[in-house]
């Protein structure tokens, strides 16, 4: 039954609901070898296994002979090879290059095949022809994705911590524009949002930081004091008591931008959980924002790992919340299976988005990640069918919704046809 479900998933078109894929040209301009498969998230696993930043950089220094770089890499590969990140590598390796493993004996041959594959059309081959991805929503810092498959999302905040004069006087729209007041900065954001929308962006991404309540008076005062040079940098004493807080200026501006994005009919994507000091990225932080903006649609990313139930409960409580499984299937398959199982019991099925690869340069790995997503979802469905909780036909319908219809509708992708 699992195979049958996997087959059905292989037949349908997919919306890849979150990537960082840059224009294909960026990938083609890169020199590549076997180590391209270890760029992006696997970097974290290599460093946690004990590799130093310098050693990691050396892997991509093509002036150093590959034999030497392999010697650095091999002991760490043996340590990280069982993680879900690495599984996506191995699945993609098999699919595109025909090898079961990366070893002392084959790394040079694999590198040659990767070089050969790194040609114009690689995105189409991987995304469209192999993964059946119709659209991939990508955040690569530009709306000019140079591809009909890649649909851009842009960052919501382009002014860093919004805590110094340098940060606060930089226009997100046009660097030549002068900013003298907090309202100037908000106006520049509105222009940036409208321009991005005109250029094809379908949403903006923020994070579930512990925002304070937005207070215009407080924000304006602080902004003016920074611009007059009375305050050099917003200090932690001004920040509300929380894990680290944001600051009153950011709290206010962030809220104003959210309102405006919602008025434009665009979506706010929200990173939750895992990354650095993940305590400040708990999904719970975002509850006040969700409550203040019931008319805005929020796409909650990554199931908040490790605050999984907090994230799922946002979907249970708030009509304006969607739950996006981007990245989850390669964080841990076990967690993604449990989360999906629980989501089906908790969340209306139109609110679940099954897949987002979350890769940048190593486009091949989208296939490995997608395979793991399908595997996870099939595992849950088999269990539910065997327990008599779902019928096979229900599962087929849900598959089409979570892999295609739900993200397609949320991001209004019919305008891209």
Shortest distance, position 302 Cβ to Zn ion, whole Å: 8
Burial class (CB in 10 A: 0-12, 13-18, 19+), 180: exposed
Which ranges constitute the DSSP H helices of 118-215?
122-123, 165-168, 182-198
Shortest distance, position 122 Cβ to Zn ion, whole Å: 21
Give the per-residue contact string, 74-93, with Zn ion (x = CB under 5 A; - = no): --------------------
Considering only CA atoms, which of 211, 302, 224 is closest in space to residue 258? 211
Shortest distance, position 18 Cβ to Zn ion, whole Å: 6
Shortest distance, position 358 Cβ to Zn ion, whole Å: 4
Q: Which is nearer to Zn ion, 18 or 197 (CB)?
A: 18
- Residue number of the CB closest to Zn ion reads 358
Q: Which is nearer to Zn ion, 271 or 384 (CB)?
A: 271
Contacts of 273 (CB under 8 A, 6+ apart): 208, 281, 282, 283, 302, 303, 304, 305, 306, 307, 308, 311
**Residue 113 host element (H or E):** helix 107-117
CB 209 within 8 A of CB 217: no
Contacts of 339 (CB under 8 A, 6+ apart): 303, 308, 312, 325, 328
For residues 115 and 219, what is the distance between their CA atoms, to the nearest angstrom?
A: 52
Q: Which is nearer to Zn ion, 358 or 401 (CB)?
A: 358
Q: Which is nearer to Zn ion, 171 or 324 (CB)?
A: 324
Q: Which is nearer to Zn ion, 330 or 352 (CB)?
A: 330
For residues 62 and 105, what is the distance between their CA atoms, to the nearest angstrom?
A: 20
Shortest distance, position 20 Cβ to Zn ion, whole Å: 6
Shortest distance, position 364 Cβ to Zn ion, whole Å: 17
Shortest distance, position 149 Cβ to Zn ion, whole Å: 17
In order, the DSSP letters of 157-184 are --STTS-BHHHHT--SS-TTS---SHHH
Shortest distance, position 139 Cβ to Zn ion, whole Å: 6
Q: Which is nearer to Zn ion, 33 or 358 (CB)?
A: 358
For residues 366 and 130, what is the distance between their CA atoms, to the nearest angstrom?
A: 10
Would you give the distance in Å from CA 337 to the centre of its chain? 19
Shortest distance, position 306 Cβ to Zn ion, whole Å: 17
Interface positions, 26-85, toward Zn ion (CB under 5 A): none
CA distances from 66 to 36, 56, 326, 364, 415 (A): 13, 13, 33, 21, 46
3-class DSSP state of 301:
strand
Give the per-residue contact string, 352-391, with Zn ion (x = CB under 5 A; - = no): ------x---------------------------------
**Residue 288 host element (H or E):** helix 287-292
Q: Which is nearer to Zn ion, 86 or 138 (CB)?
A: 138
Q: Which is nearer to Zn ion, 17 or 257 (CB)?
A: 17
Q: Which is nearer to Zn ion, 17 or 179 (CB)?
A: 17
Interface positions, 268-297, toward Zn ion (CB under 5 A): none
Shortest distance, position 154 Cβ to Zn ion, whole Å: 13
Would you give the distance in Å from CA 245 to the centre of its chain? 22
16 binds Zn ion (CB under 5 A): no
Q: Which stretch binds Zn ion (CB under 5 A): 127-135, 286-294, 309-317, 350-358?
A: 350-358
Q: Which stretch binds Zn ion (CB under 5 A): 95-103, 306-314, 351-359, 375-383?
A: 351-359
CB 167 within 8 A of CB 154: no
Q: Which is nearer to Zn ion, 297 or 369 (CB)?
A: 369
Residues within the interface to Zn ion (CB under 5 A): 358
């Amino acid at each position: 039954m699992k195979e049958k479900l996997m087959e059905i998933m292989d037949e349908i078109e997919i919306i890849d609901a979150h990537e960082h894929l840059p224009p294909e040209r960026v990938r083609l301009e890169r020199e590549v070898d076997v180590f391209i498969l270890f760029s992006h998230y696997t970097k974290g696993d290599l460093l946690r296994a004990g590799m130093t930043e310098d050693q990691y950089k050396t892997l991509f220094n093509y002036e150093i002979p590959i034999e030497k770089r392999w010697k650095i890499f091999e002991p760490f590969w043996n340590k990280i090879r069982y993680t879900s990140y690495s599984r996506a590598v191995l699945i993609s390796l098999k699919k595109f290059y025909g090898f079961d493993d990366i070893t002392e004996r084959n790394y040079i041959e694999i590198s040659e095949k990767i070089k050969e594959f790194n040609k114009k059309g690689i995105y189409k081959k991987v995304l469209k022809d192999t993964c059946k991805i119709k659209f991939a929503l990508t955040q690569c810092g530009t709306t000019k994705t140079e591809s009909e498959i890649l649909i851009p999302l842009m960052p919501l905040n382009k002014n860093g911590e919004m805590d110094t004069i340098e940060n606060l006087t930089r226009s997100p729209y046009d660097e030549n524009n002068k900013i003298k007041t907090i309202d100037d900065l908000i106006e520049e954001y509105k222009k940036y949002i409208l321009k991005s929308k005109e250029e094809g962006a379908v949403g903006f991404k923020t994070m579930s930081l512990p925002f304070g309540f937005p207070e215009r008076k407080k924000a304006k005062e602080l902004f003016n004091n920074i611009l007059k040079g009375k305050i050099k940098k917003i200090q932690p004493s001004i920040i509300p008591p929380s894990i680290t807080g944001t600051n009153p200026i950011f709290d206010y501006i962030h809220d104003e931008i959210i309102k405006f994005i919602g008025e434009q009919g665009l979506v706010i994507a929200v990173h939750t959980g895992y990354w650095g000091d993940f305590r400040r990225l708990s999904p719970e932080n975002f509850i006040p924002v969700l409550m203040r903006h019931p008319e805005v649609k929020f796409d909650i990313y990554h199931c908040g790992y490790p605050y999984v139930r907090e994230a799922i409960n946002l979907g249970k409580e708030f009509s304006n919340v969607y739950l996006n499984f981007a990245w989850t299937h390669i964080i841990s398959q076990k967690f993604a299976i449990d989360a999906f199982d629980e989501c089906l019991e908790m969340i209306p099925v139109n609110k679940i988005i099954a897949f987002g690869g979350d890769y940048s340069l190593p486009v091949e790995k989208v296939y490995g990640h997608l395979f793991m997503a399908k595997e996870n979802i099939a595992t849950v469905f088999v269990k539910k069918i065997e327990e008599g909780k779902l019928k096979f036909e229900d599962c087929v319908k849900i598959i089409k919704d979570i892999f295609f219809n739900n993200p397609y509708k949320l991001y209004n992708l019919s305008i891209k046809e």
